[in-house]
Amino acid sequence: MTCLLTAGMSATTLAQNLIPQPQRLEHREGAFRLDSSVRIVAPNDLRSREIADFLRGAIRDDSGIALAEGRNGRAIELRLDPKIMGEEAYRLTVTKDRIALAASNHRGLFWAAQTLRQLLPVERSVGPISIPAMRIEDAPQFSYRGHMLDVGRHFMPVEFVKKQIDLLSYYKLNTFHWHLTDDQGWRIEIKKYPKLAEVGAWRTEADGSRYGGFYTQDQIRDVVEYARLRNIMVIPEIEMPGHASAALASYPELSCRKQPIDVPNVWGVIKDVYCVGDEFTFEFIENVLDEVIALFPAAYVHIGGDEVPKDRWRESASSQKRMRDENLKDEHELQSYFVKRVQRYLAGKGKTLIGWDEILEGGADSSAIVEVWRGDAEGAKALANGNKIISAGPFYLDSPLNALTLEKVYATEIVPAAYASHREQVLGAEAPLWTERVTTANAETLLYPRLIALAEITWNADKRDYPDFLQRLQAHYRRLTQWQVGYGPENRNVVDFRFAWNPSAQNWRVQAERGFSDLQLRYTTDGSEPSSASPGFTDSLTLSQVVPLKIAPFRGARAYASPREFTMVSHKAVGKSIQYSSQPNANYRLAGEQVLADGLLGGGSFADGMWTGWQGENLRATIDLKASTPVNAISARFLQQSGSWILLPKAVRYSVSSDGKRWKRVYARSFDVDAGSEQRLVEDVAFHADKPLTARYVRMEVDQYGSLPAGHNGAGHPAYFFVDEIVVK
């Protein structure tokens, strides 16, 4: 019978496409014939039998070959060999007569099984498979190789979570960090406090719809067991003392103000936090942790600890009394008191605390593990304090694909120069996916293939060869496609859009930059969601009238991202030339000079590409209407979202001119900006002429807010202001 391999790919090539690349691979003569007569032999302990069952099922699912159940004939042999040194090390040997998987413990034995899976061809076989003879000796360089999934901002169903665990395991990432609570949602059932699920798991969106979800304890147990069988440790994160609004909405008595609040539907840093002065707070936290600990056998519990505004503690009598009673000099030390107290409680339960690098503020116990996200300087502080660390900041996968490219992930050093003298304290790295703007529709485009690059560099950091990695990756794309994984492009976004107004034809031209050549863009103009049956285009679309436009990219029948919604507005300045006294922040601008005169209004997110942001500079924007034009109204919308450092400006002024030299001010408005407000505001700054004006030039001047005030989470940094369009009627 013939052996079916991946088209154009030899058996030896399959071995060369392993990810992560093994530490040592030696090709030998001959090949092992894998067919239905082959059996699996394993030690008789429970975990070895589980690994054998997993491998048997994976071979059946991946190749179509159902292995024999008998005791005679050629075999895949699983062996525990104490001579193999290393916690996750393994040896895989393929000869003509047998395949031997060996390790000193079950963790390594399971990774050997996953390596064997990667030696199988992508397509299912109609006959035997030839696996080339070889010897692999392998072990990871870092013990912590992880991915964090934020389900607090957007809920991810169990089926999606399990799919990601399968992929983590396939690429030998050994840790799933489950971010289960945040301001915008509490996602884990706590039986002692039922309102956490009844209230805290749900929010009212800006359009009035209800959004949310949570995992029952039975579902949590199911996921944890599913991960255990696949060699994945699941670490829960229960955010405290900040990012706790969902809990405070459920039980207002946990807050310092004791006042009801809603579960927020905006992002950023929110001032309401657990009240550290009240013993009830710690009673609640300990009861919650007791139920969490019972569900997660991992040795670690992540408590977050990041972005904790101190405003409520400053105004709280009980919190100030706590500071005095504990001889604490400021609220930073009060946060340290909170963290250390929770750490002692966890230690009493046999758990090690992990927290984001802010747990160092005010002092942190050296036995805590610090997850570093704010840069090497924070990591160096943790190392100098004696803490072990996990690197996360360079691997934020919610970053756009064209900013954090696959190559950039691959090139990142897990141990930068600042850490060199503390190499043994660096446990490894983790790639977080924060989900403010991420749902199941686009999560996988952000995760893959970048998460696969992290798997490579945390397993085998010393062998960096990007062209070789790219070559090996190509075979894996076919596997991902077979598994219906919506992986993204390597160095650009799934799709970017540019709008241009054609004044002679009086229409808009939508230009698309597609990340994949086979993407089809489906659109609707009636407010409905695009489907695979909606009309489509590839590179450009012409629209002759203002419509509620929604566009979604598809590969085949599969939606590859959430629909983008565009709100167009027709006015006299659309498409006209515009000059700026200062350029927008590079992270928050569209290409081209028409950014404030392109006929597009901003949507629900300041990062949607239609809002444009300036930071630390005033603005003078001048539009040339090309001819004397009646001007009846001028308006612009400004955004405030204080937790994201976006404030209304101090003042806005409109002026008009016939020659661009002599200007007449027609409108001025100043703002009494409340930098402490946590509400998302959109302010329409509108001028309406009492009698018609005639002008060729229209100018908008904006005075920025300035530096963020004391007490703000960005105190001392310049605020942003965001504006979407200068509308001239």
Token pair, residue 573, equals 């300045």
- Annotated active-site residue 243? The verdict is yes
| CA–CA separation, 311 and 331 (whole Å) | 9
Q: What is the pTM of this model?
A: 0.92
Catalogue the E-assigned strands of 402-464: 426-433
Measured CA to CA, the distance from residue 227 to residue 241 in angstroms comes to 28
Question: Which residue shows structure tokens 């919308």?
Answer: 637
- The residue annotated as part of the active site, out of 62, 88, 138, 182, is 182
Q: Nearest 5°: phi and psi at 602?
A: -70, 155
Neighbours of 352 (CB within 10 A): 16
* Local mean pLDDT, 10-residue blocks, the chain (729 residues): 37 74 95 95 96 97 88 89 96 97 98 97 85 96 98 98 98 98 98 98 94 98 98 98 98 97 92 97 98 98 95 96 96 96 97 96 90 96 97 97 97 95 97 96 97 97 93 95 96 91 85 95 95 95 92 91 90 92 83 76 86 94 96 96 93 96 96 88 95 94 95 89 96
Our answer to whether residue 571 is catalytic in this structure is: no
CA distance 389 to 354: 9
Q: Is the bond into 22 cis (omega within 30 degrees of 0)?
A: no
Strands 352-356 and 369-372: parallel
Q: Which of 286, 307, 311, 436 is catalytic?
A: 307
Q: Are strands 520-524 and 536-537 parallel, antiparallel or unpaired?
A: antiparallel
Query: How far is residue 198's CA from residue 7's CA, in Å, rounded to a whole number?
Result: 53
Task: Give bridge partners of residue 174 from the DSSP assignment.
Answer: none
371 is catalytic: no
> What is the crossing angle of helices 279-295 and 217-229, to 10°?
50
Which parts of 96-235 fold into alpha helices (H)?
Answer: 106-118, 158-170, 195-198, 217-229
**Where do we find the tokens 């747990």?**
359
Q: Give me the catalytic one of 106, 147, 154, 243.
A: 243
* Contact predicate 616/718, CB 8 Å: yes
